[in-house]
Amino acid sequence: MTSTDWLAAHRERLDGALAAIRTRGYYSAFPESPSPRVYGETAAADGKTAFEAHLGTTYPVETPGANGTVSSEQSPYGLELNVQYPRTTESGLDELLAAAQQGLTGWRNAGPDGRVGVALEILDRLHQRVFELANAVQHTSGQAFVMAFQAGGAHALDRALEAVAYAYEEMSRYPAEATWEKPAKGDPIRMTKNFTVVGRGVALVIGCNTFPTWNSWPGLFASLVTGNAVVVKPHPLAVLPLAMTVEVCREVLAEAGLDPNLVTLAAERPGDGLAKPLAERPEVKVIDFTGGSEFGEWLEQHATQAEVFTEKAGVNAVVVDSTDSFKALCNNLGFTLSLYSGQMCTTTQNIFVPAGGIETDEGHKSFDEVGAGIAASIGKLTGDDARAVELLGGIVNPAVISRLELAPEYGDVVLASRAVKHPQYEDAVVRTPLVVALDAKDEEVFGRECFGPVSFLIRTADTAESLDLFRRTVAEGGAMTAGVYSTSADVLDQARDAALDVGVALSENLTGQVFVNQSAAFSDFHGTGANPASNATYTDGAYVASRFRVIQSRRHVV
């Protein structure tokens, strides 16, 4: 198989994605259900076995310039992972980056079709290992298995395919060859022009702990298919899913006769701070980052030799004005706060509710009753330990526990967090969400991100103040998501205007099986790039267009 054979083999999948990004309607290329009816009877067990085979071994991936190995992962479920990876240190960067650049000319010459063929084959092979990946994501991020399968597997593959589709469309805007014929006295002036897509150089992907694949793959694949080499620097606590990714990339590149060092893994020892020196290297022309605001802003301000795409932190908000379905509101918000213990960059932190309460289909509900309703929903969803752990997953790292322990002091506890005992993993760290009531004047608390299972129910004078606080906190602190509940067309209009003004995506009256913290690939944009929480979105034209340049040559037709 050559890379263009792969394009043909996966053409239908690509065409589906290309159609979807035009309509932004529903599309999925990778089934999200881990059911044996979809994936076969042995798929789950085989995947688990494949995952377990990595434990305590040295991962079979080579990194140029690496110096010894490093093992840094800690499963939130307490499972001993002890996987060794090649360790990259600052002194190995010359060798690593030289090796990364070695294959760039061949990669450029493969052309858009060849590169997209390679990427589609990589995605297909990652899909073949989706159960193994799901186990790896579960035991590094702490996501429960089904979520790890979906968000870390199928949905991540969809998001990666979305990025490939945008990049393919972007590269296809320019003809490979053009004839230019300018009318003139006598014969027209005729030229032939060639246009070549050229990557920017080396791209760096900096992974995060909570969504090692979902948040890394869009940038990785967007950079790769546009002709760049990619260095993947995983979070030290979530290496395995990206080591697998890099392994598959290298395997497919090598099969296509391309340089496997076009994709490399740069694993570091915790505390080495490898991302900074990597990001400052002149060879690095594109950077994708998911993580904290401080380092994200540092990258935006200092890695000015590179195109920098960041997803940082925010203060996601929901404005509650009124509802025609109070139970469904409580259930919907309760699920959002509980899923993965609120450790999503899209989880709602701030719920603005008027002090005087709200009108609902069940009559007037006081501020306290709204809090009690949401708390009751969470209680129901997480009351049974065995069921709870499948929704909550594990706490990703000790910093989350520290924040959770401090949070009750910020205000009045509406719902306390409790430790849940995992029936299968006795050392698993599992917590239910904490909900704290605050006043509008406590902006110093709710204006900052408190990442983890902590949400604030904020007492406002009225919906007008809720909307004001929504505007101000999102404009200043950023947000990945926002929601509004209202039966008033006026209030919905005001919320839409506010969302447009501060540049955040708005979910209105979610009372069913769609949640404010979830974004569907091909349809929902994730982040906007229009507020401080992120400077880019998954995925639009701006996400791909500057990852390559078009270089032309021209000559007269003779």
Q: Could you list the residues that contact a second copy (CB under 8 A)?
A: 21-26, 105, 108, 170, 173-175, 178-184, 189, 191, 193, 195-196, 198, 200, 300-301, 304, 496-497, 499-501, 503-514, 520, 523-525, 528-530, 537, 540-542, 545-546, 549-556
CB 513 to a second copy: min, Å: 6
Residues 6+ apart with CB under 8 A from 115: 3, 107, 224, 225, 226, 227
Best CA proximity match to 350, nearest among 311, 372, 319: 319
CA 239/CA 277 separation, integer angstroms: 19
| In 207-255, beta strands by DSSP E | 229-233
At position 279, the amino acid (one-letter code) is: A
Tokens at residue 419, please? 């430790």
Query: Is the separation of the CB atoms in 379 and 485 below 8 Å?
Result: no
How far the first Cα of the chain sits from its last, in Å, is 38
What is the distance between the alpha carbons of residues 543 and 243, in angstroms, rounded to a whole number?
24
Within a 10 A sphere around the Cβ of 102, how many other Cβ atoms? 15
Residue pair 54/69 in contact (Cβ under 8 Å)? The answer is no
Locate 411 and state its tokens: 């205000």
Residue with tokens 């401090």: 406
Distance in angstroms (rounded) separating the CA atoms of residues 247 and 126:
10
Burial degree of 195 (CB within 10 A; 0-12, 13-18, 19+): middle
- Sole residue written with tokens 């186990």: 135
Output the six-digit token pair for 463. 């919906």
Q: Residue 449's closest CA among 344, 326, 341, 314?
A: 314
Q: Which two tokens stand for residue 385?
A: 């330990």
Q: Name the helix (H) or strand (E) containing 494.
A: helix 489-502
DSSP 8-state symbol, 49? H
Helices and strands per DSSP (H, E), number in the chain: 22, 21
Give the span between the Cα atoms of 278 and 470, in whole angstroms: 37
What's the rounded Cα separation, in Å, for the pair 263 and 455? 39
Hey, which bits of 433-492 come out as E strands? 434-439, 454-460, 482-485
For residues 438 and 432, what is the distance between their CA atoms, to the nearest angstrom? 19
Q: Per-residue b/e over 490-523, b at no fewer than 16 CB within 10 Å?
A: ebbebbeebbeebbbbbbebbbeeebbbbbbbbe
Alpha helices for 10-92 (secondary structure H): 11-23, 36-39, 43-54
